[in-house]
Amino acid sequence: MGDQGYLVKDEIINGWTSLGIELGSTRIKAVLIGRDHKPLASGSFDWENSLENGIWTYPLADVWTGLQTAYRNLAAQVKEKYGVTLKTVGSMGFSGMMHGYLPFDSKGNQLVPFRTWRNTITEKAANELTNHFGFNIPQRWSIAHLYQAMLNGEEHIKDIDFLTTLAGYVHWKLTGQRVMGVGEASGMFPIDSSTGDYSASMMEKFDELIKPYGVPWSLSGILPKVLNAGEDAGTLTPEGAKLLDPTGELQSGIPLCPPEGDAGTGMVATNSIRVRTGNVSAGTSIFAMIVLEKELSRVYPEIDMVTTPNGSPVAMVHCNNCTSDLDAWVRIFGEAIRSAGAEITKPALYDMLYFKALEGDKDAGGLVNYNYVSGEPVTYLEEGRPLLLRMPDANFNLANFMRAQIYSCIATLKLGMDILFINENIRIEQLLGHGGLFKTKGVAQKFMSGALNVPVSVMETAGEGGPWGMAILAAYMKHKAQDETLEDYLDNRVFKDSHCERVEPAEADIAGFKQFMDRYVKGLEAEKAAVKSLR
C-alpha cells in the first residue's frame, strides 16, 4: 500500500473522517469522506416504495435493513481498500426524502404507515392551510398530511406525541434527539428566515384552527426542534450504534449534525447556497432550488418556499415525477436485447439510449410523453397514467422516442420555473445539475439548458450527490472555524479546486423545446382524461 493509502488508513483509524447517509427514494447510500472532503468509501442498498391501500409508503423495517446493509457494505469496502476495521468516524449525519408523515405516540409506536412525499391525498388540507396562512402549503408537506388526517377524522390524531420525517426519525432513533436541520424542517412547516425557526404567527394560527378538534397537544410540542447547519445535534448512543452496525464494531459517542432533507444536501453537493445560485436534482422526482435575494411578490401554488441548510429563503419547484417512466422503458429495451440473445450492461444501455436522443429532432419529432407514474400537483393531477402520444405523421423513431422521454422528465419543471423567470423576473447565473438524469454526460444537461434557457453545469463530484453533501454538513459541524459560514466553508475548503462541465443554451434547442411544450400543454387534457377513465 502506497503513502496515500497509509495516510487514509491513518485518517480512518483516528476518526478524522465524516460519514453521510441518505435515504433516497430508490437507494440508501452511505459515503465516507476524509479531511479533504473526497469520498473514501461508499455502500448502498436499493429499495422501492409500494402503493398500499392507495398510499405510497415504505415499511420502517426496510429503513433499518437498508441502513445496516449500506453501512455494512461501506465498512467492507473500507476493510478491503485500506485494511482496517471501521470502528469510529469524526462526525456523521443522516438525510432523506423530505416531507411526508411519520407520527408516533408517547411510547414511540408508529401510529400509521409512513406516508411519503409522493402522495397527493391532501389537496383539501393544503388548499385550506394555504388560504389560512397566506403561504403556499404543498400537498406533500407534513403539516398538510397532519391537517388532512384531522379533516378525515382519523383516530390516531389524539395520540400523536411526535411528528417527524424520515431523516428526523432515523436521527431520533440513533441519538434520542427530536431535532431537525432547518432545511428539512422547512418542508414540514413554514420557516421564518429572520429567526431560523418555525413561523410563530403561523403556528399560532394553526393551533387556533384546530381547537375544535380538542387534541391534547400543541403543534410546537410535537414538531422537532429546529437547528441550523453546524450546530450540535447529539451523539450516537450505544443503542443507536448497535442499530446501525449490529456487529458491534461501531463505537458510540460519535457527534451527529442536524438531519437534513435531500433538497438541502443537493444544495450543498452542488455549492448552491449563496443567493442567485440554483441547482436541479433529477432522479425519481425532479426539483429545482433557487436561493432568493428577496421574497416572492405573491403566493404561487406551484412554488414552495423552503430554506437552505443555514436558513436562507429558497424558491423550490418540485415535481413528483422524473425518471420512473423513462427507467421502465429502458428496462423494456434491455429485455428486448436479452431476448435477442445479446448482453449489455445497465450503464451501457442507458448511455446508448441517451446518446441516441441527441440524434432526434429538436422538438422530438411530434412525440409527446407524460411521465406521470404518480400524481403531479404542478399540473393539478391527483393520480398519474404514463402516456405516450403522437400524431399519425409524427417522425416516430428511436431517437425521437428517447428525446421525448427525457424531455418529459423536464417538462413539468419548466412550467414551474417559468413562473420564477417570467412572473418574478428572477435571474440566476447558472443551474448546477445532479442526480441520475445527468449520469450520461452532456445529454440531459444540454436538453435542460435549452428547456430553461439557462446555462447548466454538472460538477465532477455531482455523481456523489446527497450522501456526499450530508457528509460535508457533518464535516462542517466538526471542522468549521469560529464564525465560518457554510457558504465560505464550501467555497474555500470543499469546492476551491472543483471542475464543472458547463453547457450554454443553444437557440435550436430553445426553439425545439418550446414546440414540444406547446404540444405538451395542449395534450394535458388527454392525460387528465386517462386518469379519469382508466381505473
Statement: residue 266 has pLDDT above 90: no
Please report whether residue 353 resides in a domain.
yes
Please report whether residue 181 resides in a domain.
no
Q: Are residues 449 and 492 in the same domain?
A: yes
Q: Are residues 461 and 350 in the same domain?
A: no
Separation of alpha carbons 125 and 151, rounded Å: 7
Please report whether residue 105 resides in a domain.
no
Q: Which of 137-146, 255-264, 271-280 has the lowest mean pLDDT?
A: 271-280
User: Residue 427: its pLDDT value, please?
Assistant: 87
Q: Are residues 432 and 374 in the same domain?
A: no
Residue 47 in grid coordinates:
429499495
Q: Are residues 511 and 488 in the same domain?
A: no
Q: Are residues 316 and 457 in the same domain?
A: yes
Tens digit of pLDDT for each residue in 184-201?
999 999 999 889 999 999
Q: Which of 253-257, 284-288, 460-464, 468-472 has the lowest mean pLDDT?
A: 460-464
Statement: residue 2 has pLDDT above 50: no
Residue range(s) defining the domain that contains residue 436: 262-320+416-503
Angle at 346 between CA 468 and CA 374, to 5 degrees: 70
Q: How many domains does the chain have?
A: 2
Helix (H, G, I), strand (E, B) or coil at 308: coil
Who's near 269: CB < 8 A, 6+ residues apart?
434, 459, 461, 462, 464, 465, 466, 468, 469, 472
Tens digit of pLDDT for each residue in 29-59?
999 999 999 999 999 999 999 999 999 999 9
Q: Are residues 479 and 512 in the same domain?
A: no
> How many Cα neighbours within 13 Å face the side chain of 453?
15
Candidates 257, 247, 261, 260; CA nearest to 74 is 247
* Rounded mean pLDDT, 212-233: 97
Please report whether residue 220 resides in a domain.
no
Q: Return the CA Rg of the chain.
A: 23
Query: What number of H helices and E strands is found in the chain?
Result: 17, 22
Candidates 7, 494, 29, 444; CA nearest to 272 is 494
Q: Are residues 389 and 467 in the same domain?
A: no
User: Residue 459: its pLDDT value, please?
Assistant: 80
- CATH of residue 456's domain is 3.30.420.40
* Rounded mean pLDDT, 330-341: 97
User: Residue 71: its pLDDT value, please?
Assistant: 98
Q: Are residues 354 and 468 in the same domain?
A: no
| Cβ-contact 32, 19 below 8 angstroms | yes
Q: Are residues 512 and 385 in the same domain?
A: yes
Q: What is the mean pLDDT of the chain?
A: 94
4-36: burial string, b at 16+ Cβ within 10 Å, e else: eeeebbebbeebbbbbbbbbbbebbbbbbbbee
Please report whether residue 204 resides in a domain.
no
Please report whether residue 511 resides in a domain.
yes
Tens digit of pLDDT for each residue in 505-519?
999 999 999 999 999
Separation of alpha carbons 285 and 180, rounded Å: 22
Tens digit of pLDDT for each residue in 373-406?
999 988 999 899 999 999 999 999 999 999 999 9
Q: Are residues 362 and 487 in the same domain?
A: no
Q: Are residues 438 and 489 in the same domain?
A: yes
Q: Are residues 298 and 430 in the same domain?
A: yes
Please report whether residue 178 resides in a domain.
no
* Rounded mean pLDDT, 342-369: 97
Report which DSSP code applies to 421.
I
For residues 25 and 357, the model is more confident at: 357
Tens digit of pLDDT for each residue in 447-501?
999 999 999 998 875 556 789 999 999 999 999 999 999 999 999 999 988 888 8
User: Residue 23: its pLDDT value, please?
Assistant: 97
Please report whether residue 431 resides in a domain.
yes
User: Residue 3: its pLDDT value, please?
Assistant: 47
Statement: residue 298 has pLDDT above 50: yes
List alpha helices for 223-376, DSSP H: 238-244, 262-269, 324-339, 346-357
Statement: residue 227 has pLDDT above 80: yes
Candidates 462, 466, 412; CA nearest to 432 is 462
